[in-house]
Structure 1
Amino acid sequence: MPRIFSLFLVILSSLILTACDDDDDNNSAAVNAESGFQVGPRPFFLVEDMDEGELKTALQSCENGPFVKTDFSIGHRGAPMQFPEHTRESYVAAAKMGAGIVECDVTFTADRQLVCRHSQCDLHTTTNILAKPELAEKCSTPFSPADAASGTAATAQCCTSDITLAEFKSLCGKMDASDATATTVEQYMKGTADWRTDLYSACGTLMTHAESIELFKSLDVKMTPELKSPSVEMPFEGDYTQEDYAQQMIDEYKAAGVDPENVYAQSFNLQDVLYWIQQEPAFGQQGVYLDDRVYNDPSFTPSLADFEELAAQGVKIVAPPMYALLTLDADERIVPSEYATLAKAAGLEIITWTLERDGPLAQGGGWYHQSIAEQINNDGDTMTVLDVLAKQVGVKGIFSDWPGTVTYYASCMDMR
């Protein structure tokens, strides 16, 4: 274990500093000198933790690489298992781990500038805004401390739409976390999960959407922006419509001269995807419908007719959470779900989310593994889930909080 921990620190440091000593025996297995892609020590840990079998043997045979960039590996908000999400540092880490596609979730500021944040109203947990009094006072809901006597939790809500772009750019990104028992701002800003780290969270660099485009171009990765659902009433301030918002996002790719084939625009709002299909078909033909009906619509049942209707409207890619694509058969084996089978039958491609977001899997995982929890009992099962998604479900790509794991698997299985 000391050697693995040492290796872990070496690789994480190299992801930030872009330095790698090819002569260092401690990281030679994790770094492919020919390509320069660094998967980090985590995939090796996961493979060793797997149950014995053919898949483990096959993956062990790939421990020396080569590890190559692959569109099958999608950086979910970058590489947020270790780096503050939607920061430059997180994006660079994802690209260095061989993610062929990296995500910027898109929302807007008070002056209608597009920025990368997972939610319009997450600044209180993902940045240091509460530690900046002049900006904290602009938050939709100012910080309120916990009250143990009444059982009241600490609260705050700070939105990108509360502040200008210049004010947004003055913030530092941090690991997404808060402490509901906090009685001070300093306490509230802590709370990072014990399986993550604050080592690389001193001041993550926040990015505009346009800046992310230029960074991704320089990193030679494709782009998957997600148009986030506004937390404010639309039209914003009476005249900024949802269509304006959806068009503005595409316009920034056009202004940057990005080939539409390198962009996978996403939204949970089907109308956004249909807007792109109709108004920006070069981009819309790769539009991704993030299907939340499986957990937000109690009446939803997958059907061939439903998926064929999506296809008839021009939708080509659907993206539900992982658990919606997996189930257990009569022999308790992990197999494709009815959703997966019917979507493929309708000719739809599938992308899914999010690998390695549940934390340790010893107790069956969490939300992302809920349909197969009975067969999840160790971290190595991550690789088994990945294998079923790749080979049996036939997904087009997988979002991961540690893209190096998917890169390792895809490189081993010769999936480019």
Structure 2
Amino acid sequence: MIRSISTTALALALACLLSALHTAIAQDAMAPQLGPRPFYLVDTMKDGPLKTALKQCTGPFRKTDFSIAHRGAPLQFPEHTRESYEAAARMGAGVIECDVTFTKDRQLVCRHAQCDLHTTTNILAKPELAAKCSEPFTPANGATGRKASAKCCTSDITLAEFRTLRGKMDAANVNAITVADYMKATPSWRTDLYAANGTLMTHKESIALIKSLGAKFTPELKAPEVPMPFGGDYTQEQYAQQMIDDYKQAGIDPNQVFAQSFNYADILYWLKAEPAFGAQAVFLDGRYEQPGFDHTRPEALKPSMKEIAGDGIKILAPPIFMLLALNERNEIVPSSYAKAAKDAGLDLIAWSLERDGPLDKGGGFYHRSIKAAIDRDGDTLTVLDVLAKQVGIRGMFSDWPATTTFYASCMGMK
């Protein structure tokens, strides 16, 4: 009897040990895989308390909603492809973006712009589809100064035709005289190492994939580059509704979806027609493209921060440079735009980290308001720290989510 009890106890103990081991293995398998880049960035930072703190951070690293995958992980993977989304999830992105546009037969697909197929896919290498492009490939002409060009849109082809394409790194050689040279233009600081099999995604497929990866969704309704209503009866509101309907049909909780648009009217439509989704819709502030726009004078902006909040919008997302400025000591600080947004009660999301390439020359578009303070890749983490701690952003779009995951994990952010 005693021996029987001992055997039973031993069996139970062994079962508990095996269960704990399986749990540990499963948790380890789900832990973000950051690779060397975040640690390289720390090594190249200027000496100071932030570098010291990050240097001491060895994990554990975890998935976080602060880390938002911008088009997946397009620093090294073709954007808006299955491979890019999976890479982003492995790097701990808690939210993954599908930019949404439509095909000729009005099916929603993931592309950054409706008319970018000539730079983001191999469509020009498929003569039968290249012939359907809005503007065919035109070679460069050195004698006249003409640059090589093409314009291929999702609305030029059907969904079935879209599915035959392969994603590639977004680039074009404007000095090319052949299609092959035009397509072969990936910047030296990116790579074609993972671009052999860029699997394009429909919007519905992206929903299923992102759900399986355990991440949240941030679809962006892209501005049509064709006249609306498309085909005479496909209106902007139908387009906006179709995107939301895909989540409803998939049974996705609205709290898991952060619908985005640069079009203010889209946000207002969702607030009215789909309030559960509109409640956390994201207004992407692209007003910097408007003549006379000056983000340093937020009191003159139309609509104002208070008007944006008054319309029911809760989340505002401008590019990084609009949220930052330099003080008299050449230190990076929150901009007047950022302060006005927070004063109005708006949450902020910034875009897009790791998109300017090497920062040794001050960066480009995304760092233009603080260029004088940027001189090394490690400044990526300095910028992120100011955005997180001083500006108070709730999330950061990144072309390489490992960086934002690393920072958020080290700082104990959700």
Q: TM-score, normalised to structure 1's length?
A: 0.91
Q: Which residue pairs with 2:45 in the alignment?
A: 50
1:297 to partner: Cα distance: 4.2
Q: Which residue pairs with 2:19 in the alignment?
A: none
Q: Which residue pairs with 2:353 in the alignment?
A: 355
1:293 to partner: Cα distance: 1.1
| Structure 2 letter corresponding to 1:250 | I
Which among 302, 322, 341 is matched to residue 298 of structure 2?
302
| Structure 2 letter corresponding to 1:227 | L
| Structure 2 letter corresponding to 1:59 | L
Aligned positions of 1:193-232 closer than 5 A: 193-232=187-226
Rounded to whole Å, the distance in 2 between the matches of 1:408 and 1:370 is: 25
Structure with higher Rg: it is 2
Rounded to whole Å, the distance in 1 between the matches of 2:122 and 2:254 is: 35
Rounded to whole Å, the distance in 2 between the matches of 1:80 and 1:119 is: 15
1:65 to partner: Cα distance: 1.2
| Structure 2 letter corresponding to 1:43 | P
Which among 295, 312, 317 is matched to residue 314 of structure 1?
312
Which among 365, 368, 372 is matched to residue 366 of structure 2?
368
| Structure 1 letter corresponding to 2:164 | S
Rounded to whole Å, the distance in 1 between the matches of 2:308 and 2:291 is: 17
Q: Which residue pairs with 2:5 in the alignment?
A: none
1:253 to partner: Cα distance: 0.2
Please give the secondary structure, in 2, of the residue aligned with 1:276: helix
State whether residues 294 and 320 of structure 1, in contact with CA within 8 Å, keep that contact through their aligned partners in structure 2.
no
Which among 297, 303, 328 is matched to residue 330 of structure 1?
328
Rounded to whole Å, the distance in 1 between the matches of 2:293 and 2:221 is: 25
Q: TM-score, normalised to structure 2's length?
A: 0.91
State whether residues 35 and 66 of structure 1, in contact with CA within 8 Å, keep that contact through their aligned partners in structure 2.
no
| Structure 2 letter corresponding to 1:373 | K
Q: Deviations over 1:41-86 (max 9, x none)?
A: 1100000000111000100111x21110000000000000000000
The yes-or-no answer on 1:238 pairing with 2:232 is yes
The yes-or-no answer on 1:266 pairing with 2:260 is yes
Q: Which residue pairs with 2:22 in the alignment?
A: none
Rounded to whole Å, the distance in 2 between the matches of 1:104 and 1:242 is: 18
State whether residues 59 and 412 of structure 1, in contact with CA within 8 Å, keep that contact through their aligned partners in structure 2.
yes
Rounded to whole Å, the distance in 2 between the matches of 1:289 and 1:299 is: 17
The yes-or-no answer on 1:74 pairing with 2:68 is yes
State whether residues 31 and 63 of structure 2, in contact with CA within 8 Å, keep that contact through their aligned partners in structure 1.
no
Q: Which residue pairs with 1:41 in the alignment?
A: 36
State whether residues 35 and 67 of structure 1, in contact with CA within 8 Å, keep that contact through their aligned partners in structure 2.
no
| Structure 2 letter corresponding to 1:123 | L
1:33 to partner: Cα distance: 3.7
| Structure 2 letter corresponding to 1:183 | I
Rounded to whole Å, the distance in 2 between the matches of 1:299 and 1:280 is: 31
Which among 136, 154, 157 is matched to residue 160 of structure 1?
154
State whether residues 81 and 401 of structure 1, in contact with CA within 8 Å, keep that contact through their aligned partners in structure 2.
yes
1:151 to partner: Cα distance: 1.0
Q: Which residue pairs with 1:83 in the alignment?
A: 77
1:237 to partner: Cα distance: 1.0
Please give the secondary structure, in 1, of the residue aligned with 2:94: strand
Rounded to whole Å, the distance in 1 between the matches of 2:31 and 2:63 is: 10
Q: Kindly tell me: are residues 338 and 295 of structure 1, through their superposed partners in 2, closer, same or farther at Cα, counting changes over 3 Å? A: farther
1:135 to partner: Cα distance: 0.2
Rounded to whole Å, the distance in 2 between the matches of 1:325 and 1:56 is: 22
Superposed CA RMSD in Å reads 1.1
Rounded to whole Å, the distance in 2 between the matches of 1:266 and 1:299 is: 21
State whether residues 323 and 372 of structure 1, in contact with CA within 8 Å, keep that contact through their aligned partners in structure 2.
yes
| Structure 2 letter corresponding to 1:115 | V
| Structure 1 letter corresponding to 2:125 | A
1:203 to partner: Cα distance: 2.4
Rounded to whole Å, the distance in 1 between the matches of 2:89 and 2:78 is: 15
Rounded to whole Å, the distance in 2 between the matches of 1:73 and 1:388 is: 16
The yes-or-no answer on 1:180 pairing with 2:178 is no
1:295 to partner: Cα distance: 3.5
Structure 1 stretches of 5 or more lacking a match? Answer: 1-31
1:319 to partner: Cα distance: 0.3
Q: Which residue pairs with 1:413 in the alignment?
A: 411
Which among 393, 396, 406 is matched to residue 395 of structure 1?
393
| Structure 2 letter corresponding to 1:50 | M
Structure 2 stretches of 5 or more lacking a match? Answer: 1-26
Rounded to whole Å, the distance in 1 between the matches of 2:39 and 2:376 is: 14
Q: Which residue pairs with 2:17 in the alignment?
A: none
Please give the secondary structure, in 2, of the residue aligned with 1:250: helix
The yes-or-no answer on 1:379 pairing with 2:409 is no
Which among 137, 142, 148 is matched to residue 143 of structure 1?
137
Q: Could you list the runs of 4 or more consecutive aligned residues of structure 1 that deviate by over 2 angstroms after TM superposition?
A: 32-36, 294-297
The yes-or-no answer on 1:285 pairing with 2:283 is no
Aligned positions of 1:85-100 closer than 5 A: 85-100=79-94
Q: Which residue pairs with 2:163 in the alignment?
A: 169
Q: Which residue pairs with 1:59 in the alignment?
A: 54
Q: Which residue pairs with 2:9 in the alignment?
A: none
| Structure 1 letter corresponding to 2:313 | V
Rounded to whole Å, the distance in 1 between the matches of 2:291 and 2:34 is: 37
1:34 to partner: Cα distance: 6.5
| Structure 2 letter corresponding to 1:54 | P
